[in-house]
Amino acid sequence: MNPRRGAFVAGEKVQFTDRKGKKITDQLVPGGSTQTEHGLILHDDVIGAVEGTVITTVHAKREAQVNQVYPEKDKNKPWKSSRAIGGWEYAAMRPRLADYVLSMPRGAQIMYPKDIAQVIQLGDIRSGLRVLESGAGSGAMSLNLLDAVGESGHLTTIELRSEFARVAEANATLYYGEKPAWWRLLTGDFDSVAAELPEHWFDRIMLDMLDPWNRLEQAYRVIAPGGVLVCYVTTTTQMSRLAEALRAAGCWTEPQIQETLERTWKAQGLAVRPDHQMIGHTGFLVISRAMAPGFAALKKRERYSKDTVTDVDELTEEQREARLEELELRDISDHKLRKVLRDLGRQVGELGELGVIGASEQSEESENPQES
């Protein structure tokens, strides 16, 4: 496996960053080049260099900047000729895993690094553990799981679509230089494939699918007691349904639900402010742990006044009136109500003393002389 240190070698990915912060990630090929807006980066200038080296672009042919299919579209764009001029500097670095994930070819929408980081941390995924993943997609989560468990651990990934499995495998192979030996990539639906897996063998399970609540039975069969289940869903309806299914199963602890928002900042001298754009909602993480066989999960005692199940439209008029009386938000003592009314009366009286109410009434009378 490529240790990703030392001089750049042919075949590995390199990230080029200019002074404006614009990044380009490309694979080094002997005799190859990377097209930029400011000329070409020659790969032979990069191969053999170390990280942090500054590479200067060379002049590119004018034709390379023009739309090859519809050249007439660039007829009135003279500024494009400047893109062929070299002399632009780029710093060459190996991409971080987060950079690689965002730049790699993808067939399906990937999880953002902010969510992946929370999966690793809250799922307690670390070196040497056995992890089961469902939903490889383009391999973003798989790569991070492989890095987290390391060669001493093991990752089994179940992907429904064979074409997505090929994309994930190719991205992992490009990142490591070879397919990781501690990764088993299986194709098929989760229940059928998981049924062939050993019982209570996995320490952690990561589910990234549309209906994780339908996979809880097989997930519990293969996870070890105390194992952590992490599910990634994108909508509130998915999140709610999953949480209720975990509670109804009785063998999972009370689900922990969260989302992560990300905002970057700019700091230049005394000009310190947040960026105008941020990464808001991308998905919810639902985390739970497996109880030992024969033991039911502990639950909080629910108060009747906090009924969150019954639909109000299914109640009769008498039941609705009774429910309104039972709601905690309406439960206020007579003493508290008298105090609230007394305070409001005092504040309204102060408006009258200041002439605000009188002025308002006079204004209304002047606007409606016939009514007065």
DSSP character string of 175-197 = HHSS--TTEEEEES-HHHHHTTS
Q: In the numeric block, which tokens belong to residue 151?
A: 């060669």
Q: How far is CA 160 from CA 16, 43, 108, 197, 241, in A?
A: 35, 38, 12, 16, 22
Burial 156-184 (b: 16+ CB within 10 A, else e): bbbbeeeebbebbbbbbebbbeeebeebe
Neighbour count for residue 118 (Cβ, 10 Å): 20
The two tokens of residue 196 are 């062939």
Tell me: is residue 89 an annotated ligand-binding position. no
Whether 208 has a binding-site annotation, put simply, is yes
Rounded Cα gap, residues 312 and 54, in angstroms: 66
Q: Which of 78, 86, 27 is nearest to 55 (CA)?
A: 86
Cβ neighbours of 133 (radius 10 Å): 26
Rounded distance, CA 189 to CA 20, Å? 45
Contacts of 174 (CB under 8 A, 6+ apart): 13, 27, 104
- Distance (Å, whole) CA 348 – CA 340: 12
Q: Which amino acid is at 164?
A: F
> Residues annotated as binding site?
159, 208
> Residues annotated as binding site for S-adenosyl-L-methionine?
159, 208
